[in-house]
A and B are shown apart, each in its own frame.
Chain A
């Protein structure tokens, strides 16, 4: 017996008698052949009481520098937005936290209606009529869109903008190698997808095209032009979107995008060192029956009352097996619930206000940073929540040293682009959320300016080595 089980000696005696065996071990011995039984205890530490586990996990947490411990401008796919208290409270409710997939809709109306509401919110945000109940997370949502295209038109080539999140490009390539599609990358030009190269790359063999809005460098792409370039091909146009700027940015549904996907973390989910979060997946009507994952639909019960069920299940693995549109069984229900609660908390006006605020602060931050010695803009395109600068500090090692200096001063200045882009080895990606005030931005400018100056000084006058 442990703290989580309840079989007393008296229970055990009764239970074994009812079963007709002499011991619990006998249940295993009679079913598992001796040659594959472990026959020894697992080589793991002994169990601990709750307070000691708490202390251990707390000590581990204390060895991380989180967004509570520094002023962070890290983004690059996940962002330190404020998560309202109502989300903690609602997601902590047993009724949302502890059930499973709504296999019995009569007792799962809460989860099913939340999915229906979530789908409505995502449709509104993207301007696309069809949304599923969510998928794992952002980059694999991009890859799932690739599989949708593969099943829809069977073409073997994917055209991918280099502005797509590096993890999404990598994930898409991993998936595509499995189902036999080739990924062709289109370079960036002055910070956005090279439209000419993009159009040239799209041909009769192209099954899907992929771009990000805004792209990985924070630049707003001309989504309409990118989608239009694929108009005369059978390619599925896939846009990877950041949902927060969609309060002010033209929605994918109005830009000719067929499938809009993206990382949902920014919608009411914590950073959690990368997950769990959710991926959103929305599409035009034409792809309704090719969508991966769960979809909630409205219906009526035996008495004519409104209710909700999982619907269009003939797409799914438990029915279609090898012919399924995806192998995904569950959505990210709890994370998507956070998403719809967050969007309802922001509300119609709030999402726009948040978008405009980030636009102003991002612009201000960019102006402040490029005014520093040794810092220049990596591109001049509009930016809505994130921007890229180049640091004239001698490349990757210099950028790493600048980041370290800033962190030592309590500011995380952003992400070193050189980890993913050889051509931007001097690049720094700086992200804003509503939690980074003007005072924080000014502090960043001071700290970054000093760090860059110190590194440049070091480059100009290297210390004598022994």
Chain B
């Protein structure tokens, strides 16, 4: 095992080769500089015999180990796990953490991901022993607090969505989608119908079509009209008796609230299909409009988005669903039931025609605790304030970008106003300045900002999907707009600066094609 010295910053050719002449002084809005050491994995550190773990003493009479577990079942050689002391372990991962950009340090306007503040109260309450060390198979009469919390959360989600029946079980948005499409299948099969197709708009998140295939249906794409909504003529042409469901996000991934939603629901219901609401963009409408009132049958929530779970570097999430009366009998078991005496129980057979389970136990309870705390903190008015502020911030940022004259190079893809996020097209910028959306994104990193979502939605050329969330102050939004303007100005003078950015990050642009061509996905040992 090699013993590399992490601190030899100046011996690193990468750093030496790049005088930081494009480094930008970090503003109050931007992030602090990150750890730029050479990357060494935990497997390359330590030495034989080092350890952080001290095993409890063997306190029972020792039996012959080979009698207890015969050699034919035994492993020949120990797994080559790291051998490090606790100080080494801590230093390694703390340093690693400093190679990440994070929401607590800077602006993170990643469209469709709702990177809103994560209150630390939530970590504190989720960490209480009564929640964190509660076994999922504890007898219900000894888990009354947990079941009450889940029951209350179900009720709150039902009210926010306008759909009365909730299952908290799905593990993430994508899992909620799978639940929704499988529920749709069960609903049709129960009526003796074998439908084959599911409609998804061409603006849909990739999870929608992927889910449809997993649930055994064929995807049929529906077009988008010039205003960014569903093309009604195309929908009418494709909505037939073979269609099981239309999956929709509203506001959609273009930041557009589809004003024809009532008519869309009518068309879909007229052919006996269900209408599914992808809740990724729920942060735009909490307390302002409800999917249930728009005619949706099934909604999934992303608790990690609208109800502020820490995103964890990509998980965990939680994707509860809410459904209408006609979908209720098919919901996943077990069901939380409240008895007349106010006590709670888990019923393995609570839904008579249940599709079954989608995972183990009752769902991501740790996420429920956090989102429930969030709802308790904000209440009815606070949730509406969150959506109002999110929409205000998005529109203000849009206006600010226009003020800086950015709109010519980065026009809004659809409409005049937006909901909680908006899509810009980098196409004119590419033509006029010779820098792509990717270059703009990479240069934003040098300014201490996480870039917006790029190249999604696919419908918009050189797309930038910007979602500032309600978290951000006016000053942050001002700073971000200035940074975009500065990058465009800089590109007008020397496009190569953005084209080769970033310069100040732990590593510079990475060879993704090379990684895929010759995959190295584990440390060679």
In whole angstroms, how far apart are the Cα atoms of A331 and B175 in the complex? 12
Q: Does B396 contact A (CB under 8 A)?
A: yes
Q: Does A335 contact B (CB under 8 A)?
A: yes
B14 touches A136 (CB 8 A): no
Complex contacts, B515 vs chain A, CB 8 Å: 297-299, 309, 311
Q: Does A424 contact B (CB under 8 A)?
A: no
Q: Which residue of A lies closest to B453 (CB)?
A: A103
Given contacts A61-B129, A110-B97, A178 and B262 within 8 Å (CB-CB)? no
Q: Please tell me which one of the listed residues A56, A78, A419 contacts residue B136 in the complex, with CB atoms under 8 A apart.
A: A78
Given contacts A109-B100, A179-B214, A333-B313, A136 and B392 within 8 Å (CB-CB)? no
B376 touches A53 (CB 8 A): yes
Complex contacts, A35 vs chain B, CB 8 Å: 262
B152 to chain A, nearest CB (A): 9
A384 touches B69 (CB 8 A): yes
A345 touches B118 (CB 8 A): no
Complex contacts, B445 vs chain A, CB 8 Å: 104, 106-107
Mark each residue of chain A from 147 to 168: 1 if its CB lies under 8 Å from any CB of chain B, else 0.
1000000000000000001011
Q: Does A200 contact B (CB under 8 A)?
A: no
Q: Does A32 contact B (CB under 8 A)?
A: yes
Complex contacts, B373 vs chain A, CB 8 Å: 53, 57
Q: Does B275 contact A (CB under 8 A)?
A: no
A314 touches B366 (CB 8 A): no
Q: Please tell me which one of the listed residues B174, B360, B366, B367 contacts residue A329 in the complex, with CB atoms under 8 A apart.
A: B174
Complex contacts, A382 vs chain B, CB 8 Å: 68-70, 73
Contact residues on B (Cβ < 8 Å of other chain), bracket? 35 or more
In whole angstroms, how far apart are the Cα atoms of A324 and B209 in the complex? 9
Complex contacts, B73 vs chain A, CB 8 Å: 220, 222, 249-250, 382
Question: At the interface with chain A, which of B20-28, B424-432, B502-510?
Answer: B502-510
Question: At the interface with chain B, which of A203-211, A346-354, A449-457, A458-466?
Answer: A346-354
Complex contacts, B79 vs chain A, CB 8 Å: 121, 124-125, 246-247, 251, 348, 351
In whole angstroms, how far apart are the Cα atoms of A411 and B441 in the complex? 57
A63 touches B78 (CB 8 A): no
A78 touches B101 (CB 8 A): no
Q: Does A423 contact B (CB under 8 A)?
A: no
Given contacts A64-B144, A86-B90, A96 and B97 within 8 Å (CB-CB)? yes
A136 touches B42 (CB 8 A): no
B302 to chain A, nearest CB (A): 11
In whole angstroms, how far apart are the Cα atoms of A393 and B287 in the complex? 54
Complex contacts, A351 vs chain B, CB 8 Å: 78-79, 81
**Which residues of B from 1 to 20 have beta carbons under 8 Å from A?**
12-14, 17-18
Q: Does A41 contact B (CB under 8 A)?
A: yes
Mark each residue of chain B from 78 to 117: 1 if its CB lies under 8 Å from any CB of chain A, else 0.
1111111010011001101111111111001010010111
Q: Please tell me which one of the listed residues B211, B257, B366, B519 contacts residue A272 in the complex, with CB atoms under 8 A apart.
A: B366
Complex contacts, A247 vs chain B, CB 8 Å: 75, 78-79
In whole angstroms, how far apart are the Cα atoms of A15 and B481 in the complex? 14
A27 touches B395 (CB 8 A): yes
Complex contacts, B389 vs chain A, CB 8 Å: 1, 5, 7
Q: Does A281 contact B (CB under 8 A)?
A: no
Complex contacts, A178 vs chain B, CB 8 Å: 178, 181-182, 185, 214-216
Q: Which residue of A lies closest to B88 (CB)?
A: A344
Extra contacts, 16 of them, besides A4-B377, A44-B379, A305-B14 (Cβ < 8 A), are A47-B377, A57-B376, A58-B130, A64-B145, A65-B143, A177-B356, A220-B69, A249-B69, A274-B363, A275-B362, A275-B364, A296-B521, A299-B514, A320-B210, A322-B212, A348-B82
25 contacts between A and B (CB under 8 A): A1-B389, A4-B377, A18-B403, A27-B395, A36-B294, A42-B160, A58-B128, A66-B132, A66-B138, A84-B52, A98-B104, A103-B454, A107-B445, A124-B525, A171-B359, A177-B185, A178-B214, A220-B69, A271-B136, A274-B136, A278-B315, A317-B209, A344-B42, A361-B59, A382-B70
9 tightest A-B contacts by CB? A61-B130, A274-B361, A334-B312, A47-B379, A274-B136, A276-B316, A63-B145, A94-B104, A107-B101
